[in-house]
Amino acid sequence: NASIHLADSEGNTPLHLAILHQKEKNALLLIKLLDPPELNRRNDKGETALQIAVEDEQESIVKFLLKSGANANMIDIKKLLKRAEEKMNEQYFDYHKILNCFNCFIGIIDSNKFANLKPPDFNGQTALHLAAKYGFKTFLNFLIDAVKDVDIENSDGQTPLLLARNKDTFEALIDLGASRNKKDAHGNTGLHIAVNFGNVEMVRYLIETNNCDIDCQNKMGKTALHLALSRQPDDFIFYVLFDKKASIRLADNEGNTPLHLAILHQRRDISFWLITLLPPSELNRPNNKGETALHLAVLKNEFSMVEILVMKGVQLDSKTRENKTALDLAKAHNLKRIIDFLKTKTEEL
């Protein structure tokens, strides 16, 4: 008879392999046959069957292993958190599946050992940062009693509160005594970070109930609205911020206003919309390179945008720091249609 105890060249027993290859029926049968010492046996990577099952989100196997005597405290928590972080950064992942597997063993492991754990390849984040970042409410509640410093910072100067994924997590951290007014090392507030993550729920919550400064600028002079234009691919967060009276005139440290950024990042619908809203004085406003909206529209070869800017009465002779007009830039890039249009409009002056 084949032995269910023999390991291969990598230290994997039949149980390890059944879980690795997602053979659920085989794994459950082996768990029934093996005693706890065998269930807790490590392969050459130091992984127990439970470790593999949790990392691979095999919830039914996790539950049955724990019921059968697998030791949750033998899990390599650093490795588990690293794997969870990798999965959550993937384009497609099953958030609830990962959360369920965490919840399976969360009440069994040592919370004091776990709460302030800092995996070295996690940018100084503790388990509390990760619980806040991904909205693991059960996880967060589990950690609360063991937390020594609720405002502990990661290497970017971010506290768990700044990373809070949802209002429940945010309020739980506030109840713990977290500071509302913290900024990270780059001067970002929770609103900046929520915009960076594309977290519409938190953007709305922070604006509507937390009395945050919607136009607060970070160390680069960026407001949340600036980040919505430069970091997020869709327009929804921009319009949420605009609806809540975020300024469309503030410039960042490079002199770029929301209009400059909208054109630079080819947010066409927003660009046209801002052009219709703003007066000529704002449309003619240069950034630190001396570039106006017209210069940038030419550089992006946006003929229809050039047309509407000219219709709005922008200055055609405005020059960049390199002494270039919009027409000069069109000629330099051989943009014939724009060249002909700007020549005609210049001659009409």
57 Cβ neighbours under 8 A, 6+ residues apart: 94, 97, 98, 100, 101
* pLDDT for the residue 75: 76
From the number of C-beta atoms within 10 Å of its C-beta (0-12, 13-18, 19+), residue 287 rates as buried
Q: Are 293 and 276 in contact (CB under 8 A)?
A: no
SS3 content of the chain, % helix, strand, coil (to 5): 55, 0, 45
* pLDDT for the residue 130: 76
179 Cβ neighbours under 8 A, 6+ residues apart: 151, 159, 161
Return d(Cα 163, Cα 125) in angstroms, integer. 11
Q: How far is CA 265 from the centre of its chain?
A: 19
* pLDDT for the residue 101: 56
Per-residue exposure over 7-34, b if at least 16 CB sit within 10 Å of its own CB, e if not: beeeebbbbbbbbbeeeeeebeebbeeb
Task: From first to last of the 349 residues of the chain, give the pLDDT tens digit.
Answer: 468 999 999 999 999 999 999 999 999 999 999 999 999 999 999 999 999 988 887 888 988 998 898 887 787 766 766 666 666 566 555 556 555 556 555 555 555 555 555 544 456 677 788 778 877 766 676 666 666 788 888 889 999 999 998 888 898 888 888 888 899 999 999 999 999 989 999 999 999 987 789 999 999 999 999 999 998 788 999 999 999 999 999 999 999 999 999 999 999 999 999 999 999 999 999 999 999 999 999 999 999 999 999 999 999 999 999 999 999 999 999 999 999 999 999 988 7
Question: Which tokens sit at 332?
Answer: 């330099």
* pLDDT for the residue 59: 82
pTM score, whole prediction: 0.72
If one counts every other C-beta atom within 10 angstroms of the C-beta of residue 160, the result is: 31
Return d(Cα 79, Cα 143) in angstroms, integer. 18
* pLDDT for the residue 19: 96
* pLDDT for the residue 119: 46
Q: How far is CA 334 from the centre of its chain?
A: 39
Nearest to 66 by CA among 97, 96, 99, 103: 103
Cα dist from 76 to 60, 127, 304, whole Å: 20, 13, 58
3-state SS record for 63-89: HHHHHCCCCHHHCCHHHHHHHHHHHHC
* pLDDT for the residue 120: 40
Return d(Cα 105, Cα 61) in angstroms, integer. 12
Structural domains in the chain? 1-105 (1.25.40.20), 110-185 (1.25.40.20), 267-349 (1.25.40.20)
* pLDDT for the residue 215: 97
* pLDDT for the residue 149: 80
